[in-house]
Structure formats: C-alpha cells, structure tokens
Amino acid sequence: MKVLISLFLFLSVFCNTAAALTPTTQGLLQDLTEAKLSKMPDMVEQLETAGGEELLPVFRAWLEGDLHYTRDQGRLVVEVEVKGEDTYQDPFTAETIATLTSRDVRKIKVNNKLRGLLRGVIARIQLTSKDAGVREGAVRALLTELDDDTFATLESLYPEETNSDVKDMMSTALSMYIAQQSDNSVSVRLDAIERLGDSLENDVRNVLVRLQNDPAPAIASAAEKALVSINQQVERYALVDQLFFGLSLGSVLLLASIGLAITFGVMGVINMAHGEMIMLGAYTTYVVQLLMPNYIDYSIIVAIPAAFLVSGLMGVLIERLVICRLHGRPLETLLATFGISLILQQLVRTIFSPLNRQVSAPSWMSGSWDINPVLSLTLNRLYILAFALLVFIALVLILKKSSLGLNVRAVSQNRSMAKAMGVKTEWVDAMTFGLGSGIAGIAGVALSQLTNVGPNLGQAYIIDSFMVVVFGGVGNLLGTLVAAFTLGIATKFLEPTTGAVLAAILVLVFIILFIQKRPKGLFPQKGRAAE
C-alpha cells in the first residue's frame, strides 16, 4: 500500500511539473536523458530556445554536476545534501522525493565545454529577469564569453534597459567586444577603449592587457593609457581599503581600552585582569548562543547586556575583595590583578575546556558590502565600527550627564577633596571598576564575531589597551578615541611593507619615544591631583 501511495505522489508531481512545460520542452528533456555527451551542446541550445527561464533550475543543477534522471522513468531530479545525506528533489518544485536512492538514478554527464555553454545560457536567460541585480550579474558573467550572438543580444536589450547600473555594465560589455574586433575601424575601437578606461572590472583589465600588443600602434597606446587610468583608481581604492581595516582595528582597540581608561584614570589601578573581562564577555556570547540555538540572529542583541552584567559584576567583586585593600600601591595591584587573570583563565579552562569555541555570526552581519569590483567592506567589521562609536558616545554621556559621572570626574581629579565634600569614594571606585569591566565585556562580544573564543583571548589585547590609554592620556576618553584609531590606522598602513610583527614593534617604539616628549599623552588629564 505504501509503495502505491509513493508511486501516486511521484506521478502526480511529475504530471504537475510537466504540465507547466511545453510539449517540445518536455520532449527535449526526455531526449536529454538518452543523449550522448557529444550531442549535448546542440541540446543545450535547443533547450535554451524552447524552455527559456523555466529551465534555469535544470541548467544550474547541470552546471554544478547535480542533475540526474531516474532509471525507470527518465525523470530529471537534482541531488542535494540535507543534514549530511544525499537526497533528490524535483528541479522545478524543489520537492524532496523520499523514495529515491543513489541506486535509482543516473547522473547526466557534464564537461568543461558544456559548463562554458551552460554559463552563457544561464546569463542570457537572466538578462531578461525582472530583478535588476540579476540582470547586472548576468551581464558580468558574460564578460568572459562575449561572442557574436551575445553581442547582438546585449545590443538589442541596451536601449530598453532602465536601470543605470545594468546599462553601464552592458555598455562595458559592448565596448569590450568592439575594442577586440580588428574588423572595426580604429576610431570606433579607440572610442570603445576610452569608455573602458573608467571600468574596474578584472575582465576589462585583461582585455586591455591583450590590446597592448595590438598591431595598430594607436590601439596599443590607447589600451596602455586606459590601463594606467584604471591602475590609479585601483591604488586609490586600495588605500581606502587599508583605511577601513585601520578603522576596524581602531574600533576593536577602542572597545578593549575604553574601560581600562576609566579604571586606570580614576583609580590608578594597573589592572592586568582587564583582558580576562574581555574574555568573559566573549564566553558569555558563546553561552547565550547555546541557550538560543534557533535565534542566532537575535542572540548577539541579548549577549551585549548579558556580557556587560557578567563582566561588570566580576569587576565589582574583584574591586571589593582585592583592589580596595591596595589603594595607593600600584605595583601591588599589578601583581594582584595578574594573579586574578591567571585564576580566571584556569576557571574558564575548567568549565569550557582549553579548546577554542566558535561563535556563529548573525546572518545580518555576514557577507560584505560590494562598492565596486575592487572594494568591498565586510559587514561584521562595519557593524563593530559603528557599535564602538555608539559605546563611546554612550559612555561620554554617562560621565557628563549622570551623577555617577560627576562623582567619577571629581574623584579622578582630586580624590581627597571629593571625599572631604562627602563623595563616597569607595562606592565610586566599585561602580567605576564595574563600569570599566562591563565595557570590556561588551568588547568581548564584538571580538567573538572576529575571532575564535578561547581562554587566552584577552591576553592578545591587554598590552595594546595599555598602549592606547598611555598614548591618548590616562583617564581621557577623547584621547583614548584618537589614540585607538591612530594606532589602528598606522598599524594597517605599516603591515603591507614591514609585516605584522615589525609593524607592532615600530608602533611600540613610536609610543616610547612619544612618551619621552609628552609623558601625559596626547590629552593630559586636568586637575590639581592629575599627576
């Protein structure tokens, strides 16, 4: 009985699919299952003419080598992997056919020649899509396979195209074809090459490189001139790319050091456990994702306040149990917090094991923003840059507009006078240390999106955090902002020339020399007790 039901469902889906196709297309698809490899290029052309956009799923599966047909009925199916197992689906409805196994199907062969034809067919069909992005991608895919038929198709569609980006891409494709045709007049080819001088497509550069060896001197000279123009644009965008990565590194340094700037500036505590506060924030993100496996896209929104609370409470606990007993003894606080950092690292190893943990990025933070063919900005770094600036603005508002901020500024400028005026300095110290540690936990949330989470995560940023704080001016938030982005940009601009290790050494040497001239940093703290 189950076999009859499965057969009925199989035939009903097949009939519904077949009804959507013309008899000619159905016949060609049936012939495809019996055709030899040598006959398939002709069949690709016939299917393109007969089926058009309806056959895109078939062409895509064929291109990827996933197109099969059933042995008994010759029905086309697509092989897909679901949870590690190979299953088969209808190419038109994407409905899984549970009754099929690898023994019931045979693969439709494909070779490099067919792949080239299939790419061209898919691109030509997509040229008439309603989605402008699909049309633009189709034109870009055709740049490497321009022939007489493709040129004629693009030339006929060009006047009717309404989207400016698609039209520019079509113009580039047409110009590439015209520039390479030696039958055209030199003036026509020169006009085409001049238009190509504004394009950053890799295929355009490849064409211009070949045209540098053209027998016509005017063509070779024009191609060389266009290449020079393109290369200058590429270099400018490369600088923009380096600047973006410098700002990205600066945003990470800002998040990692801004909490340290508060605790170091207000309390004079050399907190060597600051890196572990970052680590706790990263592990909090990991735990939140374990608790919300079906809501990864929203887990990071939950992780931000959770990491702030976990790291902040740990900071308050450390201050109340250890730091409060060591006021005025910075070297002893250094040793004590270094011991605390080792304890926290071992605690994390005991709970989570020494292995690194992978934190999944939300879908809205994945991918990149493609500005042009040579410049794309990764979304996760772009979001972290914006997030770092928001945290900085929020912290400035807290310190400028709240009573806590007023007390923090009073204690940082003159602790004795603030205590004499009735400020509870012990409470301010605890809240300040908790606030700085909480912000470090938020930094851990951001870092979990860029690197693996492990017990030694914070150690990679503690030295850089101290460098940023000292360079910018102890306790000065504006100085921390300027120092973080300055060091981040400087490091990324040095790395291509010197390498990552030497770049870090040069930055460190620069800071040492700078501190010799300005011991209080870029923006020294003001007040009678600032020293």
pLDDT digits (tens, 9 = 90+) for 312-358: 999 999 988 888 887 777 788 888 999 999 999 999 999 998 888 88
Claim to verify: residue 206 and residue 269 sit in the same structural domain: no
Which of 96, 114, 132 corresponds to the end of one domain? 114
| Whole-number pLDDT of residue 184 | 85
Please tell me the pTM assigned to this model.
0.76
Q: Could you tell me the two tokens for 377?
A: 């900005």
Q: DSSP code of 433?
A: H
Q: DSSP code of 354?
A: S
Claim to verify: residue 95 and residue 13 sit in the same structural domain: yes
| Whole-number pLDDT of residue 481 | 92
Q: Is residue 287 part of a domain?
A: yes
Query: Mapped to the 3 state alphabet, what secondary structure does 259-313 carry?
Result: HHHHHHHHHCCCCCCHHHHHHHHHHHHHHHHHHCCCCHHHHHHHHHHHHHHHHHH
Say yes or no to pLDDT of 451 above 60.
yes
Q: Which residues pair with 81 in a beta bridge?
A: 86
Q: How many domains does the chain have?
A: 3
Claim to verify: residue 255 and residue 155 sit in the same structural domain: no
Q: Is residue 124 part of a domain?
A: no
Q: Is residue 423 part of a domain?
A: yes
Instruction: Give the three-class secondary structure for 70.
Output: strand
* Cα 440 to chain centroid, rounded: 23
State the average pLDDT over residues 178-201: 88
- Of residues 123 and 57, the one with the higher pLDDT is 57
Claim to verify: residue 195 and residue 332 sit in the same structural domain: no
C-alpha to C-alpha distance for 117 and 170, rounded to whole angstroms: 20
Q: Which residues pair with 82 in a beta bridge?
A: 85
Q: Is residue 417 part of a domain?
A: yes
| Whole-number pLDDT of residue 317 | 92
Q: Is residue 471 part of a domain?
A: no
Say yes or no to pLDDT of 302 above 90.
yes
Q: Is residue 486 part of a domain?
A: no
pLDDT above 90 as % of the chain: 24
Claim to verify: residue 62 and residue 150 sit in the same structural domain: no
Query: What mean pLDDT is reported for the chain?
Result: 84
Lowest mean pLDDT among 1-5, 387-391, 424-428: 1-5
- Please report, as a single letter, which amino acid is at residue 456: N
| Ordered alpha helix ranges (H), 402-458 | 403-413, 415-420, 425-447
User: Which residue matches tokens 């807290």?
Assistant: 398
Q: Which band of pLDDT confidence, cut at 50, 70 and 90, is reported for residue 90? A: confident
Claim to verify: residue 23 and residue 94 sit in the same structural domain: yes
Claim to verify: residue 340 and residue 436 sit in the same structural domain: yes
| Whole-number pLDDT of residue 1 | 42
Torsion of CA 446, 450, 452, 455, to 10 degrees: -40
Query: Mapped to the 3 state alphabet, what secondary structure does 490-524 carry?
Result: HHHHHHHHHCHHHHHHHHHHHHHHHHHHCCCCCCC
Claim to verify: residue 278 and residue 411 sit in the same structural domain: yes
C-alpha to C-alpha distance for 57 and 38, rounded to whole angstroms: 22
Instruction: Give the three-class secondary structure for 221.
Output: helix
19-30, pLDDT tens digit by residue?
A: 457 788 888 788
Q: What region does 146 belong to: left with phi over 0, alpha with psi -120 to 50, or beta?
A: beta
State the average pLDDT over residues 439-450: 91
Q: Which H or E run contains 87?
A: strand 85-89
157-178, pLDDT tens digit by residue?
A: 888 888 888 899 999 999 999 9
| Whole-number pLDDT of residue 260 | 86
**Domain assignment of residue 411, given as a range:** 243-360+380-459
Which of 63, 93, 114 corresponds to the end of one domain? 114
| Whole-number pLDDT of residue 157 | 86
Q: Is residue 173 part of a domain?
A: yes
Q: Is residue 275 part of a domain?
A: yes
| CB atoms inside a 10 Å sphere around CB 345 | 21
Widest CA span of the chain, in angstroms?
Answer: 96
Q: Could you tell me the two tokens for 95?
A: 């409905």
Claim to verify: residue 425 and residue 312 sit in the same structural domain: yes
Q: Which band of pLDDT confidence, cut at 50, 70 and 90, is reported for residue 465? A: confident
- Of residues 410 and 157, the one with the higher pLDDT is 157
Task: Tell me if 281 sits within 8 A of 440, measured CB to CB.
Answer: yes
| Whole-number pLDDT of residue 19 | 42
358-409, pLDDT tens digit by residue?
A: 888 888 888 888 888 888 899 999 999 999 999 999 988 988 888 887 887 7
496-521, pLDDT tens digit by residue?
A: 888 888 988 898 899 888 888 888 88
Helices 477-498 and 379-401 sit at what angle, rounded to 10 degrees? Answer: 160
Claim to verify: residue 193 and residue 330 sit in the same structural domain: no
Claim to verify: residue 108 and residue 155 sit in the same structural domain: no
Claim to verify: residue 201 and residue 290 sit in the same structural domain: no
Say yes or no to pLDDT of 79 above 80.
yes
State the average pLDDT over residues 469-476: 83
